Amino acid sequence: MYFPIGWPKVLKNLGTESIMQIVSNRDKILFASLSEECFGVWFCKPSVPIVYHRRTSESIQRLGVNVGIEWKPDSSMICISTSEGHLILYNVESQNEQSAYQQCDPPTASLRRDSAELFVKEVITSLKITLFKEILVWDGHITRMCCISGTEILVCTTRAHLLRYRWDGSQNRDYCLDLGRIPFSINQQVSKAEPILEDNTHVNDIEYSPLVCGFGITLNDGRAAYLTAPNLKFDPNAVQGIWAQGIDDATCVRVNHKFRLIAIGRRNSQIDVFTIDELTGGLELSHTMLLSSKDFPGDPGPVKCMRWSGDGRAVAACWERGGVSVWSTFGALLACSLAWDYGLSRDLAKDNPLVVCSMEWATEGYQLWMVKVEDETKSNLIQMDFVKSPLTVNPCMSNQRHLYLQADDKLYINLEDNLTRRTKISMDDYSDMYQENGNDQSLEYESAAKYKEFVDDNECRKQWTVLQLPATYIASNWPLRYSAVDTSGAHVCVAGRAGLAHYSSVSRRWKLFGNEAQERDFVVTAGLLWWRDYIIAGCYSMTSSHDELRLYPRDSKLDSRLARLVRAHAQVLTMDVLADQLVVFGADALVSIYELTRIDNMGNVEVRCVQAVDVSALSHPACVLQASLCRLQDAPDSLIINASGKLMMVQREEYDVDEDNNPCPMMQIFVC
């Protein structure tokens, strides 16, 4: 769940030209803005420009103006496509010995900084852009580029070709694709498949996902399809196209990697989201994102652009006639600028003040960068800040009764006591109220019970408590990634880029690592949770270079020497706890169940692995959102797995471990 907060911020353009496109690198820390004759690179936070490059007039006349831009996954190169069918490769070199910005205090004593919040600890490294190679694509105009790996980029042309170029400038001719030779059908079980025979048909939008094992594409004639192959090499003789049925007005496409969904924007202003049928291999309509008449009674026009958030829990979309919206993964409207109050004199159907042509999410989804069109010759970069539910990255918080949201440097908390108010009324009054509602059945209750307790939702308080993270921690570990609140709501734990910190509402104080080296020695990768008075974190140790579980006692000082460390066999992806049982899911597709036992009051905890379940047959580990335990009657605790939005249950049987404390094999029953 994502919600906008505050006013959008306008960034000053580096040049006088109109910006056409904004693209982030894989880490979503660096942003490249593209105009017809130049491009620039911005830093995420603080939002400042780092480098600016303008092409010469001779280069523009010979190669054409800029039309597209793409990052190499390691951010070491940038590829520019031009209107005359050329690719321009640039090297992006980091000048580690130089900082792009230096902070200097003014000579006036009253204006000097005296607070830690005013010192920016983020080091903004200088970048140097140099021309690497110019490539002529003898295949018409370039319509779209798509990076498919760390070594190759896919280039789509108006001659219905999908050309694969290496980042060194050479072409991988053996694996280039031709739409006229790819068989298309409605699913992978249909024996009759035909290629595209129409002339002047080409790809106008494309996105690749290895978890979907294919490409989502839209054609210039309005059709949409899914290109797949038996393996990720994409041999031209093995590629098959699957049509998205009922789509003849597609404008853009985006793929959700974690939920394995393909979203297709249409000219009728709606977004159709398809899933891949595991039986037939065809595209099946999952749901539709459509504005209701209450949200906007008019027609905002064709869908212009879409972007999924990094965690796949939200998608941002904009329309050609103006307006920006944010939807949840399965179609709930979270925010829409068309429903904002612009005054009585503004007709949004004819003159929308927010027309966006390109957008991109920032790191952790806390910012949405957009290119706002002012007029035909002018555009601006704007930012919109967001807060999100902690369930997007830390699903083990779903069993909490407290409501809270997290921003990049603060938490918005509303405890259960504020959300509900319990009221006692006389049972005689309750009986009269019960009969007035049309139910004549007599109420049975003990004579000693004279009062009944109920929850009065009308007495709820919607006031948020804003908990600002300490500047000494967040300044060097921005942004906030994970957060957890204990069952009482009195203690909060947070984790940023490195280390962790926790807060007590009783003492109103934060606890940080006394040794900053220990704080930088590990990175929380799998979320946080509370077990009794312990903080459990799934981490990666920078010093020992392996993954582990860490248990920190709440009442002791934050010190790694006092923590209980348990080495993990693979990267920890998600965790959950039920009573004294800890469920850990790793990148090796193994669900490990640990039994936690508190030995004494000195912080000693015994962690014993009692069972392991291999779920590699169910889903790719990156698509598993949550693994939890639940209790059903008198049976052993059942294992619940959420994979790409599909809920599966594994019935556990009695288990045992061998003498080396390794889990023994077990029988498994899968129920979907």
What share of the chain in percent tops pLDDT 90? 68
- Work out the pLDDT band at 440, boundaries 50, 70, 90: very low
CA distance linking residue 393 with residue 476, whole number of Å? 21
pLDDT of 585 over the 70 cut: yes
pLDDT of residue 631: 81
Instruction: Give 8-32 pLDDT, tens digit per residue.
Output: 899 988 777 899 999 999 999 999 9
Other CB atoms within 10 A of residue 46 CB: 10
Q: Dmax over Cα atoms in the chain, in whole Å?
A: 95
Alpha-carbon dihedral angle through residues 521, 523, 529, 531, given to the nearest 10 degrees: -20
Where is average pLDDT lowest: 75-84, 109-118, 149-158, 479-488? Answer: 109-118
Instruction: Give 544-557 pLDDT, tens digit per residue.
Output: 999 999 999 999 99
pLDDT of residue 118: 72
Q: In sequence order, what are the beta bridge partners of 241? A: 184, 227
pLDDT of residue 417: 67
pLDDT of residue 16: 78
* Segment of 360-374, 432-446, 462-476, 651-665 carrying the highest mean pLDDT: 360-374
CB burial readout 494-531, b (16+ within 10 A) else e: bbbebbbbbbebeeeebbbbeeeebbbbbbbbbbbbbb
pTM of the model: 0.89
For 327, the enclosing helix (H) or strand (E) is strand 324-328
CA distance linking residue 65 with residue 57, whole number of Å? 10
pLDDT of residue 345: 65
pLDDT of residue 138: 83
Residues 6+ apart with CB under 8 A from 99: 123, 124, 125, 126
Alpha-carbon dihedral angle through residues 423, 429, 434, 440, given to the nearest 10 degrees: 160
Query: How would you list the strands of the sheet with 261-266, edge to edge?
Result: 250-256, 261-266, 271-276, 283-289
* Cα dihedral sign, 31-523-473-364: positive
